[in-house]
C-alpha cells in the first residue's frame, strides 16, 4: 500500500514539474471574429489574428480558425512568467479564455 501511494505521489510530482507545451483552447468562429475585430486576417486556409492578452496585456495570444476548427493559444505564457507542467497549461488556457470573455 505504501508503494502505491509513493508511486502516485511521484507520478503527480513528475507531471506537475516537467515542462509541457501550452495547450490550445477550442473556441468558435464567432469568438475569433469578436476577439480579432478589425484585425481579422485570412490567408492560406487560416483566419485569425494575434493580440495582446493577460490582465496587464503582458502576453501574446494567437486566435486561429482552419477547416478543422478554431482555437486560441497563449504564445508567450511560460516565456515571461516561468510556468511549467500542468500549472503552466492551466495559466495559458485561463489567459486565452479571459481574452475571449472580455471581447463580447
Domains in the chain: boundaries: 2-102
**Could you give the CA distance from residue 74 to residue 69 in angstroms, rounded to a whole number?**
17
| Backbone CA torsion sign across 36, 77, 27, 94 | negative
Is residue 1 scored above 90 in pLDDT? no
How much is the pTM? 0.62
Beta bridge mates, 62: 50, 73
The overall average pLDDT reported for the chain is 76
Is residue 63 scored above 90 in pLDDT? yes
Confidence class for position 41, pLDDT limits 50, 70, 90: very high
Which range (8-12, 30-34, 64-68, 81-85) has the least confidence?
81-85
Is 52 strand, coil or helix? strand
Confidence class for position 26, pLDDT limits 50, 70, 90: very high
**Could you give the CA distance from residue 47 to residue 54 in angstroms, rounded to a whole number?**
22
**Could you give the CA distance from residue 31 to residue 40 in angstroms, rounded to a whole number?**
11
Amino acid at each position: 500500500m505504501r508503494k502505491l501511494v509513493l508511486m502516485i505521489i511521484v507520478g503527480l510530482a513528475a507531471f506537475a514539474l516537467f515542462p509541457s507545451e501550452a495547450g490550445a483552447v477550442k473556441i468558435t468562429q464567432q469568438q475569433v471574429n469578436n476577439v480579432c475585430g478589425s484585425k481579422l486576417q485570412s490567408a492560406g486556409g487560416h483566419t485569425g489574428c494575434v493580440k495582446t492578452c493577460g490582465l496587464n496585456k503582458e502576453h501574446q495570444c494567437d486566435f486561429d480558425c482552419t477547416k478543422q476548427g478554431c482555437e486560441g493559444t497563449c504564445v508567450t505564457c511560460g516565456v515571461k512568467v516561468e510556468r511549467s507542467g500542468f500549472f503552466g497549461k492551466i495559466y495559458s488556457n485561463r489567459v486565452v479564455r479571459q481574452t475571449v470573455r472580455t471581447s463580447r
